[in-house]
Chain A
Amino acid sequence: DAGVTQSPTHLIKTRGQQVTLRCSPISGHKSVSWYQQVLGQGPQFIFQYYEKEERGRGNFPDRFSARQFPNYSSELNVNALLLGDSALYLCASSLCIEGSGGRATTDTQYFGPGTRLTVL
């Protein structure tokens, strides 16, 4: 079975440019989360999507946006790139389980290999 796939593997951009990163979750997984991992640190949560809806947002500026498609794949967009956006961007998929009150909860998160973004 294919795991989480991400594209591209590496990307080099200049300040002010825009970038789109793509993620395909594990087959059957309905939830996708995005994380930013700066070198030497743990991942930081950016977004979680379930059934094409944003279900969680981390402490990132509005330059970061994402969406999820009907096939549950997802894109992360970053506008007006800054040098500090250089990082490994990780996508995680999970088998989303509906919790009490209809709120979507998620189970174990499985990570893709990441996209290494370098901003010059």
Chain B
Amino acid sequence: QQQVKQSPQSLIVQKGGISIINCAYENTAFDYFPWYQQFPGKGPALLIAIRPDVSEKKEGRFTISFNKSAKQFSLHIMDSQPGDSATYFCAASIGPNAGNNRKLIWGLGTSLAVNP
């Protein structure tokens, strides 16, 4: 059972365009939602993260939008660049009140290609 569902599986965007990747989760106990960027042969690198007490977080060209009632969150990459071409993963974890460590539950990833 996939607890974090990510779409689309792949995405092609023109340089300067907006890339949008969506994730949906089921477990309402999740309280931390990071996005990771991974280049081929490399480990994932944290891009941006959000907690459910805010609806949006922006860092540079990257924005997370969070809809708690819909149990959905999305990553927007503004002014997409060829260097953004990578695989993007959304993830979720449960906080201390649930008595668990912060193991990350991952989506299946989105392969983004930004054409020059």
Q: Given A108-B34, A108-B49, does the pair A114, B43 have CB atoms closer than 8 Å?
A: yes
Is B102 in the interface zone, CB < 8 Å from A?
Answer: yes
Contact B96 A90 (CB under 8 A): no
Least distance between B62 CB and chain A CB atoms (Å): 15
- Can you list 24 residue pairs at the A/B interface with Cβ under 8 Å? A31-B101, A33-B101, A35-B104, A40-B109, A42-B91, A42-B106, A42-B107, A42-B108, A43-B106, A45-B104, A48-B102, A56-B103, A90-B43, A99-B95, A100-B96, A103-B96, A107-B102, A108-B46, A109-B34, A109-B46, A111-B36, A111-B44, A112-B43, A113-B43
Give the residue among A41, A43, A106 with the most B Cβ atoms within 10 A.
A43
Is B28 in the interface zone, CB < 8 Å from A?
Answer: no
Say which size band chain A's interface belongs to: 20 to 34
Least distance between B36 CB and chain A CB atoms (Å): 8
Of the candidates B42, B49, B99, B103, which one forms a contact with A33 in the assembled complex, judged by CB atoms under 8 Å apart? B103
Q: Given A108-B49, A111-B44, does the pair A48, B108 have CB atoms closer than 8 Å?
A: no
Is B97 in the interface zone, CB < 8 Å from A?
Answer: yes
Q: Given A58-B103, A94-B102, does the pair A111, B45 have CB atoms closer than 8 Å?
A: yes
Residue count of chain B within 8 Å CB distance of chain A: 26
Q: Given A90-B43, A111-B43, A111-B44, does the pair A105, B107 have CB atoms closer than 8 Å?
A: no
**What residues make up the interface of B, taking CB atoms closer than 8 Å to A?**
6, 34, 36, 41-46, 49, 89, 91, 95-97, 99-109
**What residues make up the interface of A, taking CB atoms closer than 8 Å to B?**
4, 31, 33, 35, 40-45, 48, 50, 55-56, 58, 88, 90, 94, 99-101, 103-114, 116
